[in-house]
Chains A and B, each alone.
Chain A
């Protein structure tokens, strides 16, 4: 590294250190475009619905983000998103108390996270493989148990209202949960020792270990967070539909990773932000509803997200080069 040129390097302007810069601009641009194209876009009803949809994906993205920053993947979140509400629905239909069913279902989510973490960390195989296997395993179980048919609740369940019921017209509890959980995880990542350790574990695992960070424990906890939040997000969708389809949440893992990457998170770990993921999820939700309102067939949504993902990754790579050399 040439030392002569060092003196010329000036401190970077603040905005380069804003990891979410690309995502913020992108979201604003889409917001303006959709507002111009469609009259309904700027209505309270549409904005509330859009945000609710974004919230269900967003809660999954929060956990995926924590795990990604610590250097691991979770491809099983889409399956967990369906398994947890499925467990709850089946138990309730068998007459189990709804609170008890809720706790057991969430514990299943926690358990899958523990399994993901232990298998990955004890055997040393990539989490990409572990969680891909888990994703297929649980999807298979879902289809086998239900025979491919959705599970419909046999009676009204009051508890579900607090996951996905309406708060104010089209705004649902999932939106409130998303905001609350985003604040919590933003605090955890940016303002706690655990957050510092998460960054360090993904950034340079050897250095983190040498400085006494319990890297395996950090990763394990993040595996559990990812799985647990995915399960909880599944409950918010369940609360909205009151029905669980065994194909619920398919490809959600990829959307969550896309949301995280759009939000400026580095796929290889060590860099990212909760605010970025929040914005990434909102952007995906907005594009989905915006395209529908603009009259584009539903299929266009995926194509569109694909392009946005690649453009976002390119922009973020450029910004990061400025920040981290």
Chain B
């Protein structure tokens, strides 16, 4: 078995004349939290979208659990256990918690020729798996619009855990969160790791990811400009690297 859950080699991707990724190597170990850093437009999102199959790379190879993969759509990657939680695209505000939790993967039971969803079971399971990761929700019927930003991230993370994700990709999970909420989300990320899940944590705030990350990868202008074990660097050094790469001295 490969030591990496995911390995991307020499990934290149262009959009017209813009070279978004210029041959990036990126890997995530088993049960590892990797912080993916870089300024806006560094290529973080593009790299992730290539990984999950939203885009296909122009060049390069992707291995998942040692097997070469060629994802045609996010569906393919999800089927293998890669879950992505996007900042604004995680939950549907007007829908109750339980409907959100099982969206796209509703539990159904056959009644004659018809398939009906199992409402009570989904209500119960949603609450249980949230409780399991330390989130207490008053009622599964409450719309998620009522929840805070941190709670929503937590729900999305709990959902990924519940559905057996092996690799969890979090896109700016702590952006726009209060200090207390950020801390809670970080706890959920550590909790996910404890369950054997690998995590890619995309952010441009080194202080948020530094605490929980095992390894830090810095992208700039579509290239990997640095890769560090956390022990080797301080947050300040990373900040300097990002800033100087972006031309800010």
Q: Which residues of A contact B (CB under 8 A)?
A: 1-3, 6, 9-12, 17, 187, 191-193, 195-197, 199-200, 203-204, 206-213, 266, 270-271, 323-325
Contact = CB atoms under 8 A, between A and B. Distances in A.
A270 B94 contact: yes
Contacts of A197: 103-104
Interface of B: 74-75, 78, 84, 86, 88-95, 99, 102-106, 108, 114-117, 119, 138-139, 141-143, 145-146, 148-150, 178, 180-181
Given A12-B142, A187-B116, A323-B143, A199 B92 contact: yes
A11 B84 CA distance: 30
Contacts of B78: 212
Given A211-B103, A211-B104, A191 B141 contact: no
B119 A207 contact: no
A204 B75 contact: no
B94 A266 contact: yes
A195 to B, nearest CB: 8
Nearest to A12: B142
Contacts of A1: 148-149, 178
Contacts of B95: 196, 199-200, 203, 270
B143 A3 contact: no
Nearest to B91: A207
B241 to A, nearest CB: 31
B103 to A, nearest CB: 5
Contacts of A192: 114-117
B25 to A, nearest CB: 27
B116 A204 contact: no
B65 to A, nearest CB: 21
B180 A191 contact: no
Most central of A6, A10, A204, A270 by chain B CB within 10 Å = A204
Minimum-distance CB pairs A-B, first 8: A203-B92, A211-B104, A325-B145, A212-B104, A324-B145, A204-B92, A193-B106, A11-B138
A196 B103 contact: yes
Contact of B103 (A6, A213, A266): A213
21 contacts: A3-B148, A3-B181, A11-B138, A191-B116, A192-B117, A196-B99, A196-B103, A196-B117, A197-B103, A203-B92, A204-B89, A204-B92, A206-B88, A208-B92, A209-B89, A212-B104, A270-B92, A270-B94, A324-B93, A324-B94, A325-B146
Contacts of B89: 204, 206-207, 209-210
Contacts of A193: 106, 108, 115, 117
Nearest to B159: A211
Contacts of B84: 210
A192 B115 CA distance: 7
A19 to B, nearest CB: 11
A3 B90 CA distance: 20
Contacts of B102: 196
Nearest to B179: A3
Contact of A204 (B91, B104, B142): B91
A9 B95 CA distance: 18
A203 B117 contact: no
Contacts of B90: 207, 210
Most central of B117, B119, B180 by chain A CB within 10 Å = B117
Given A191-B117, A192-B117, A204 B93 contact: yes
B221 to A, nearest CB: 27
A251 B148 CA distance: 43
Contacts of A10: 138
B92 A207 contact: yes
B143 A324 contact: yes
B181 A212 contact: no
A206 B90 CA distance: 9
Given A206-B89, A210-B86, A191 B103 contact: no
Nearest to A321: B145
A271 B92 CA distance: 11
Contact of A203 (B93, B119, B139, B149): B93
A200 B143 contact: no
A191 B119 contact: yes
A85 B110 CA distance: 36
Contacts of A211: 103-104
Contacts of A17: 141
